[in-house]
Structure 1
Amino acid sequence: MIQGSMVALVTPMAPDNSLDWASLRNLVDWHLEQGTHGIVAVGTTGESATLSVEEHLAVINAVVEQVGGRIPVVAGTGANSVAEAMELTEGARQAGADACLLVTPYYNRPTQEGLYQFHKYIAEQVPIPQLLYNVPARTGVDMLPETVLRLAEVDNIIGIKEATGDMVRAKTLIEQSAEDFIVISGDDATAVELMLLGGQGDISVTANVVPSTMARMCELAIAKNAEAARALNEELMPLHRAMFLEANPIPVKWALAQMGLIPAGIRLPMTPLAEQYHAQVDTALRNAGLL
């Protein structure tokens, strides 16, 4: 079942920016031990935009293999080219991923009808459950609720990662879609509120550094234990803010390197965390007991 704290897993890289397979497998094992409910491989946080197709599929295969069916694996397979999105989605299906996450086609600036036709086509061609992913701050295109609700009726499209942080929009999607359509937050700071409205989880950046706490917070929110969930989220808020001082995944990869969990590699055009932010991220990590 796709719900709860779904970590948007980083892709570890060596200082020369080659993929660090040992660190990737160790991260997966750590998340399994810490109670993470699911893993999203090669999404935005996994630097999908700068991995080759071959690397992208290799990471999905490695994560699926390491998880071994113990929790769901959702593979990021979106692209601004329908051919590339199809290739990645079919590759994830063959690798044994439980579902795919397809970001809205970026840069092209498609119409709402273009978004509908793009996602409908892929869902009809590749028989694997698919989640839409709306993050207009990064893609430059906003999939409106009416388009999402149209796509919710397409076989294989099982839900959406809604990353706008807009609770009015989230409420509309939850109330007007079918009961089995999954609405998941893509915004850590507001994820509790989305889950209290009836959303099923959070695809989380913060879960990279505090997986067990994020899992507990999601469990409380899904159970509608609002007071406890909000209290825990308030404790996490300094980490939520720290993880977005610069574009994701710059801060979270720096944090994980400080924690000794991954090397410091990150691919251009992303750069290491600017020195002016080191103290803020370091303080958030120390106050959370992570250093």
Structure 2
Amino acid sequence: MFRGSIVALITPMHEDGRIDEDSLRRLVDFHVEAGTSAIVAAGTTGESATLDEQEHCAFVRSVVEFAAGRVPVIAGTGANSTTEAIALTGCAQRAGAAAALLVTPYYNKPTQEGLYLHFKAIAEAVEMPQILYNVPGRTACDLLPQTAARLSRIPNIVGIKEATGDLERLVRLKSLCAEDFDLLSGDDATACEFILQGGHGDISVTANVAPRLMQQMCAAALSGRRDQALAINARLDPLHRSLFVQSSPIPVKWAVAEMGLSARGIRLPLTWLTADAQPTVRAAMEQAGVI
């Protein structure tokens, strides 16, 4: 259902923390023009943890409106409360999003059975297509392949964003999950190899900064042009790594602001990229040719 380079869109903000709607419209156009396959709105890179429910729903509506059918919009709707996740997913469906992206519940540390029942409850409550999101480094919760496989048999659970960076996970997921289940990387540093080994795409932080190159790399990998994909990825690799030199989305919001695409805003408890880290990110942007 979803293939190629999918941007995990930042939420552009003014310095006082208000959402910057003008920059948001520019960013959506930027990604459409660059050939980005889909846009994730209000995901974890979009600081969803600091958006209240009203802001969250309004942001998804705005992205759907600005996209105007030119590119699918996937709404981040995960929460560590099943009830809240159902409410956010319902908002996404009413806004016209193409799918929902549901991060594993953070902090709670549910069992595998608890994870299965959590995602099953959301899928049964809201009929729209849903993508699981596993990022244990941020959530302290690991959705194991055998649980993902059980969930892949629920008709409207259509894929997983696997952000462990462990390519052995891909092997397990391919062998266990339903045949038509989308396998998406959530780790830019290993995404090229993930796709070359049979994955379908990448939900990408790097694509905020270098969307055209990310689209070209994913397209080359999907068509089996290994040498071309690796060559493009080598140009992007410093960017993949430098965008995590401090907690994401701190570096990527700085980079997008440096490109003149958004204001310089981020919400506490995150802070702006420190001066000592800025040359590292700038050098990676120069190597990728985006500044």
Instruction: Quickly name the TM-score band, shorter chain normalised.
Output: over 0.9
- Superposition pairs of residues 115-194 of structure 1, within 5 angstroms: 115-194=115-194
Secondary structure of 1:69's aligned partner: coil
For 1:219 and 1:175, the matched residues in 2 are separated by 23
Matched residue, 1:195: 195
For 2:262 and 2:77, the matched residues in 1 are separated by 24
Large movers: runs of 4+ above 3 Å: none
* Post-superposition offset of 1:66: 1.0
Contact 2:146 2:176 in 1 (8 A): no
* Post-superposition offset of 1:47: 0.4
Matched residue, 1:243: 243
Contact 1:159 1:182 in 2 (8 A): yes
* Post-superposition offset of 1:155: 1.9
Contact 1:38 1:71 in 2 (8 A): yes
Contact 1:7 1:38 in 2 (8 A): yes
For 1:230 and 1:33, the matched residues in 2 are separated by 24
- Superposition pairs of residues 7-18 of structure 1, within 5 angstroms: 7-18=7-18
For 2:61 and 2:2, the matched residues in 1 are separated by 19
Contact 1:124 1:155 in 2 (8 A): no
Report percent identity of matched pairs.
Answer: 57
For 1:278 and 1:167, the matched residues in 2 are separated by 30
Secondary structure of 2:263's aligned partner: coil
Matched residue, 1:284: 284
Secondary structure of 2:30's aligned partner: helix
- Superposition pairs of residues 1-291 of structure 1, within 5 angstroms: 1-291=1-291
* Post-superposition offset of 1:232: 0.9
Contact 2:112 2:147 in 1 (8 A): yes
Secondary structure of 2:184's aligned partner: strand
For 2:49 and 2:188, the matched residues in 1 are separated by 21
For 1:139 and 1:257, the matched residues in 2 are separated by 27
For 1:121 and 1:227, the matched residues in 2 are separated by 43
Instruction: Give the total of aligned pairs.
Output: 291
For 2:137 and 2:281, the matched residues in 1 are separated by 22
Secondary structure of 2:276's aligned partner: helix
Deviations 1:61-106 (A, max 9, x none): 0011111112211100000011110110000000000000000000
* Post-superposition offset of 1:175: 2.7
* Post-superposition offset of 1:204: 0.3
Contact 1:103 1:132 in 2 (8 A): yes
* Post-superposition offset of 1:226: 1.1
* Post-superposition offset of 1:283: 1.3
Deviations 1:219-263 (A, max 9, x none): 011111111111111111011111110111000000111111111
For 1:124 and 1:84, the matched residues in 2 are separated by 14
For 1:277 and 1:36, the matched residues in 2 are separated by 28
Which blocks of at least 5 consecutive residues in structure 2 are unaligned? Answer: none
Secondary structure of 2:277's aligned partner: helix
Contact 1:2 1:72 in 2 (8 A): no
Contact 1:106 1:139 in 2 (8 A): yes
Which blocks of at least 5 consecutive residues in structure 1 are unaligned? Answer: none
* Post-superposition offset of 1:174: 1.6
State the AA in 2 paired with 1:200. Answer: H
For 1:229 and 1:166, the matched residues in 2 are separated by 19
Contact 1:77 1:102 in 2 (8 A): yes
For 2:111 and 2:154, the matched residues in 1 are separated by 18
* Post-superposition offset of 1:18: 0.4
Contact 2:191 2:202 in 1 (8 A): yes
For 1:222 and 1:109, the matched residues in 2 are separated by 35
Tell me the TM-score normalised to structure 2 length: 0.98
